[in-house]
């Protein structure tokens, strides 16, 4: 896998970690364990993602996040707690995927990975807070299920086809930026 493909995978996984961190940790660890992604050699501590205990903990977190995200208002609390967790996770996932000899790329991956996860997390949390304000309870579960399907599908595409990963990253970043602008506009309208 070339540097451009690795950057695309790292970008996509970091962006998706802002939506579903535990799914991303589990998928990247599993991909490393199955040798679909190279194990990080620049920081051997990050190959712990492929450890069965880490996979188990990520699997547990994945199930907890799946159910927590379906309950109206509890999902907002879950998102609030994960405002610090998801950007750190996105940064570490990007660092684990990028393994060039040049440490400059590692720092870039770390900084951009955390920023990307924070941006998508902000779009998700803001959008979900708006959805929670609607009076009917069904929209929350529908939006959550859509996020589950989108994250799973885009993550599978990214890991199966690293050449498409850069397009996934562009699409997710664009969608998140659009959501952030819409949420900001709606908040401005409500507070005016």
List pLDDT tens digits, range 86-140: 999 999 989 888 866 678 888 888 899 999 999 999 999 988 888 888 777 788 8
> What's the gap between Cα 145 and its chain centre?
15
24: nearest Cα among 165, 141, 183: 165
Max mean pLDDT among 57-61, 77-81, 186-190 falls in 57-61
Distance of alpha carbon 46 from alpha carbon 8, whole angstroms: 19
Q: What is the pLDDT of residues 130-169, one digit of tens each?
A: 888 877 778 888 889 999 999 999 999 998 888 899 999 9
pTM above 0.85, yes or no: yes
Task: Note the pLDDT of residue 26.
Answer: 95
The Cα 136–Cα 115 span in angstroms is 33
DSSP code string of 9-73: HHHHHHHHHTT-HHHHHHHHHHHHHTTSSPPPSS-GGGGGGGSHHHHHHHHHHHHHHHHHTTSTT
- If pLDDT is split at 50, 70 and 90, which confidence band does 23 have? very high
* Whether pLDDT at 41 is above 70: no
Q: Does 42 score more than 80 pLDDT?
A: no
């Amino acid at each position: 896998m070339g540097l451009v493909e690795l950057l695309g995978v790292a970008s996509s996984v970091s962006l998706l970690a802002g939506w579903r961190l535990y799914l991303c940790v589990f998928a990247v660890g599993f991909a490393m364990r199955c040798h679909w992604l190279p194990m990080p050699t620049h920081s051997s501590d990050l190959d712990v993602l492929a450890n069965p205990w880490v996979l188990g903990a990520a699997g547990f977190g994945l199930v907890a996040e799946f159910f927590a995200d379906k309950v109206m208002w509890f999902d907002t609390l879950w998102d609030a707690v994960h405002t610090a967790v998801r950007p750190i996770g996105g940064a570490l996932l990007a660092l684990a995927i990028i393994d060039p000899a040049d440490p400059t790329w590692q720092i870039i991956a770390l900084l951009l990975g955390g920023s990307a996860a924070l941006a998508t997390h902000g779009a998700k949390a803001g959008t979900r807070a708006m959805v929670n304000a609607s009076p009917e309870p069904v929209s929350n579960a529908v939006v959550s299920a859509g996020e589950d399907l989108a994250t799973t599908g885009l993550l599978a595409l990214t890991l199966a086809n690293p050449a498409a990963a850069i397009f996934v990253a562009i699409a997710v970043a664009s969608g998140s930026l659009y959501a952030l602008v819409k949420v900001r506009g709606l908040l401005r309208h409500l507070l005016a």
